[in-house]
Amino acid sequence: MEGGIRWAEVPAYVSGQVVGGIAGAVAANFMFGSPLVSFSHHVRSGTAQVASEFIATFGLLCVIWGCSGVRSTVAFAVGAYITSAYWFTSSTSFANPAVTLARCLSDTFAGIRPKDVLPFVLAQLLGAVAATLLSRLIVPSLELGAEAVVARHPEPTDLRLPR
Q: Supply the DSSP string of 57-87, one letter for each residue.
A: HHHHHHHHHHTTTSHHHHHHHHHHHHHHHHH
**pTM score > 0.75 for this model?**
yes
| 157: in domain | no
* Structural domain count of the chain: 1
What totals of helices (H) and strands (E) does the chain contain, helices first?
5, 0
CB-neighbour burial class of residue 108 (10 A; exposed 0-12, middle 13-18, buried 19+): middle
| Residue 16 pLDDT > 70 | yes
| 28: in domain | yes
pLDDT digits (tens, 9 = 90+) for 105-151: 999 888 999 999 999 999 999 999 999 999 888 887 765 555 555 55
Domain that holds residue 29: 7-150
Percentage of residues of the chain with pLDDT beyond 70:
83
| Residue 27 pLDDT > 70 | yes
| 53: in domain | yes
pLDDT for the residue 160:
57
Question: How far apart are the C-alpha atoms of 109 and 116, rounded to whole Å?
Answer: 14
| Residue 68 pLDDT > 90 | no
Question: How far apart are the C-alpha atoms of 54 and 60, rounded to whole Å?
Answer: 10
Question: How far apart are the C-alpha atoms of 96 and 26, rounded to whole Å?
Answer: 18
